Amino acid sequence: MSVKRASLLGGYGKYAAIGKVTVKNQLAYVMDFLMRTAFLVIIIYVFMQLWGATYGEGGGTIAGYTFHQMIWYLIISESMTLATPSLSARIEEEVKSGDVGYRLIRPVHYIGYHYSAYLGEVYFRLGVNLAVGLVLGLLALGAPAFGFGWLGLAAVSLGAFTVNFLLNLLLALAAFWIEETRGLEFVYRKLLFTIGGMMMPLEIFPDALRKVCEWLPFQTVLYFPAKAAVAFDAAELPRMLALQLVWTVILSVCAILLYRKGVRKLNVNGG
C-alpha span between 240 and 194 (Å, rounded): 19
141-151 confidence digits (pLDDT tens)? 888 888 899 99
Contact predicate 146/69, CB 8 Å: no
- The pLDDT score that the predictor gives to residue 267 is 53
Q: How far apart are the first and last CA of the chain?
A: 40
Mean pLDDT, rounded, for 113-130? 90
- The pLDDT score that the predictor gives to residue 15 is 74
- The pLDDT score that the predictor gives to residue 16 is 76
pLDDT band at 55 (very low <50, low <70, confident <90, very high): confident
Q: Please list, in sequence order, all residues whose beta carbon lies within 8 angstroms of the beta carbon of residue 33, skipping any fewer than 6 positions away.
A: 26, 128
Domain residues of the chain, as ranges? Answer: 3-268
135-176 confidence digits (pLDDT tens)? 999 988 888 888 899 999 999 999 999 999 999 999 988 888
pLDDT of 18 higher than 70: yes
pLDDT band at 99 (very low <50, low <70, confident <90, very high): confident
Torsion over CA: 89, 95, 96, 98 (sign): positive
C-alpha span between 192 and 182 (Å, rounded): 15
Contacts 24+ apart (CB under 8 A), 242-249: 243/219, 244/156, 244/159, 244/160, 244/162, 244/163, 244/220, 245/159, 247/163, 247/166, 247/217, 247/220, 248/159, 248/162, 248/163, 248/166
- The pLDDT score that the predictor gives to residue 96 is 76
Mean pLDDT, rounded, for 6-14? 53
pLDDT of 197 higher than 70: yes
pLDDT band at 56 (very low <50, low <70, confident <90, very high): confident
| Lowest-confidence segment of 8-17, 97-106, 221-230, 250-259 by average pLDDT | 8-17
